[in-house]
Amino acid sequence: MKPIRIESKNSAAIEAALKAVNGTAYNHCFTAFAEVLAVATDAEERVVGFVGSKARAVGATVGRTSGAAVLNAYANKCFGPRVATRVMLERRSTGWFLIDAKKAEVWQPGGGGGRIALTQSQRDLAVARFEVRFDVVAAEQTV
């Protein structure tokens, strides 16, 4: 898939890419530009929160699966997995890009879930930023 910058002028291209992946499925799938934009907006807030600036966020990726977790009752009635959409976004210097979209099958866990992947330098920065927020005290010695 050719990367598509997530911005309103590319909404038709993003929706066409989602339609190509989803086929006729739509209930628990990403189908609209606004849904992908919401993923990108959330990713921007979280990644910039981890690393401290938009410039440092370049190279981070986010994967998100549409829908919500499937209830046990649904799975136990032999309905099979729910069809969903999995999107991958990458932060580049000019913004977030949709770099991949695939059909996904969701069982109990997985729907609505996402994962952020940071580069090693971003991870080190995020850990350093986190560690300044607390102190570690020595364990009390018992006699």
Does residue 124 sit within a domain? yes
Q: What is the pLDDT of residue 55?
A: 95
Give domain status of residue 16, yes or no: yes
SS3 112: coil
Residue type, 104: A
Cβ atoms of residues 129 and 52 within 8 Å: yes
Both tokens of 120, joined, read 């090693």
Q: Is 130 exposed, middle or buried (0-12, 13-18, 19+ CB in 10 A)?
A: exposed
Please state the pTM of the whole predicted model.
Answer: 0.84
Residue 141 falls within a domain, yes or no? no
Please indicate, yes or no, if residue 142 is contained in any of the structural domains.
no
Distance CA 115, CA 125 (A): 18
User: Is residue 39 included in any domain, yes or no?
Assistant: yes
Could you read off the pLDDT tens digit of each residue along the chain, which spans 143 residues?
Answer: 899 999 999 999 999 999 999 988 888 899 999 999 999 999 999 999 999 999 999 999 999 999 876 666 665 555 667 788 999 999 999 999 999 999 988 776 656 788 999 999 999 999 999 988 888 787 776 65
Question: Per the structure, how many domains does the chain have?
Answer: 1
Range of the domain at 30: 4-129
Q: Is residue 139 part of a domain?
A: no
143 belongs to a structural domain: no
Which tokens is 62 given?
A: 């986010």
Count other C-beta atoms under 10 Å from residue 100's C-beta.
16
